[in-house]
């Protein structure tokens, strides 16, 4: 008998759902064992009845719940809480769901500052825009990862998560396991570049100049990006973006890791650890331009930085 699955997306971009499709042949093997009973990205589902005639939200019960996206509005929170009530195992799919991801970058500013800048003081193609219309879902004070709102059973980080891990986590559940997690390793642990544990020092370079490498040779012949004086978040980022095999994806593309897989473990202090990693190769962390913005995607249930003071929206 197939296992029922309900899927939801909150403050999401659908990249995580594309990654489910990208599981490819593994998905073909899994599909006969799964029965998708709810998936708004694929099928139109009216939460309050087909004509809005119901008073309470309808999400069907399922054994497995998969939720992508962060929790930005009161509607997202309501949908997530309903999902938690209706499913036995809840999977947070992708970095937005895991710890806020890209939408949580708005947490650098207070809610009202963002509303003011983005929705009240910009040109609109709508002749009568009203962001305060009560029928529009209201923003929460901050953008959250799922586990800041409900209990999460399995987290599959990544922006988007690699299909290997989606297939592996779902297979684990089908085999009766109740837990699955990526090993706690850093991107650097899986990166084959040349490391000499020192840099030339000086201020950290911005991405306005080029890395040094020979395009005819593999990345195992390229010097570590941090040691070349650039800012690479590999030391504090969870490994896994290349799936079960291969080198970190951005490094393969000769560009620094920007931390999309999130912190290596819950409760980590990635800002502090990153500053230590830079110092250890002779770079001055104080010279990272706007390091708070660069590190902000870590804000959320995992790897919390520090409460951020308000600052003007520019």
- Give the integer Cα–Cα distance in Å for 204 and 277: 13
Is cis: bond before 208, omega within 30 of 0?
no
CB-nearest residue to ligand SF4: 234
Q: List own/partner pairs for 55-59 with CB under 8 A and 24 or more apart.
A: 57/82, 59/6, 59/8, 59/83, 59/86
The residue among 54 and 277 lying less far from ligand SF4, judged by its C-beta, is 277
CB of 16 to ligand SF4, least distance (A): 4
- Give the integer Cα–Cα distance in Å for 267 and 161: 21
User: Is 167 near ligand SF4 (CB under 6 A)?
Assistant: no
User: Is 299 near ligand SF4 (CB under 6 A)?
Assistant: no
| CB within 8 Å of 21: residues ≥ 6 apart | 27
The residue among 13 and 26 lying less far from ligand SF4, judged by its C-beta, is 13
The residue among 88 and 258 lying less far from ligand SF4, judged by its C-beta, is 258
- Give the integer Cα–Cα distance in Å for 6 and 35: 9
Part of the chain binding ligand SF4 (CB under 6 A), chosen from 7-15, 115-123, 163-171, 297-305: 7-15
Task: Give the contact letters, 175-214, x = binds to ligand SF4 (CB under 6 A), - = no.
Answer: ------------xx--x-x-x-------------------
Choose which of 23, 68, 107, 155 interacts with ligand SF4 (CB under 6 A): 68
- Strand 71-73 and strand 139-144: pairing? antiparallel
Part of the chain binding ligand SF4 (CB under 6 A), chosen from 53-61, 94-102, 128-136, 165-173: 94-102
User: Is 159 near ligand SF4 (CB under 6 A)?
Assistant: yes
CB 261 within 8 A of CB 235: no
Which of 235, 252, 246 shows the shortest CA–CA distance to 187?
A: 235
Q: Which residues bind ligand SF4 (CB under 6 A)?
A: 12-13, 15-16, 68-69, 94-96, 101-102, 159-160, 187-188, 191, 193, 195, 224-226, 232, 234-235, 237, 241, 248-251, 257-261
């Amino acid at each position: 008998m197939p296992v029922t699955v309900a899927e939801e997306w909150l403050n999401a971009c659908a990249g995580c759902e594309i990654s489910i499709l990208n599981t490819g042949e593994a998905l073909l093997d899994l599909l006969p064992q799964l029965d998708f009973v709810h998936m708004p990205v694929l099928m139109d589902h009216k939460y309050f009845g087909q004509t809005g005639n119901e008073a309470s939200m309808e999400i069907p019960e399922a054994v497995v719940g998969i939720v992508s996206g962060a929790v930005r509005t009161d509607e997202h929170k309501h949908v997530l809480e309903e999902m938690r009530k209706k499913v036995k195992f809840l999977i947070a799919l992708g970095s937005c769901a895991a710890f806020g991801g890209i939408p949580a970058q708005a947490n650098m500013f207070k809610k009202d500052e963002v509303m003011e800048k983005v929705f009240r003081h910009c040109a609109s193609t709508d002749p009568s825009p009203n962001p305060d219309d009560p029928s529009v879902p209201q923003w929460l004070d901050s953008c959250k990862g799922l586990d800041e709102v409900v209990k999460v059973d399995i987290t599959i980080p990544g922006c988007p998560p690699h299909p290997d891990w989606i297939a592996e986590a779902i297979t684990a559940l089908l085999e009766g396991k109740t837990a699955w997690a990526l090993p706690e390793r850093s991107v650097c642990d899986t990166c084959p570049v040349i490391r000499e544990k020192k840099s030339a020092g000086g201020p950290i370079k911005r991405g306005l100049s080029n890395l040094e490498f020979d395009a005819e040779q593999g990345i195992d012949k390229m010097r570590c990006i941090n040691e070349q004086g650039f800012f690479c978040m590999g030391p504090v980022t969870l490994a896994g973006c290349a799936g079960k095999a291969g080198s970190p994806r951005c490094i393969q593309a000769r560009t620094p890791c920007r931390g999309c897989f999130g912190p290596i473990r819950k409760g980590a202090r990635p800002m502090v650890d990153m500053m230590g990693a830079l110092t250890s190769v002779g770079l001055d962390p104080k010279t990272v331009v706007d390091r708070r913005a660069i590190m902000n995607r870590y804000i959320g249930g995992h790897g919390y930085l520090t409460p951020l003071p308000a600052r003007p929206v520019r």
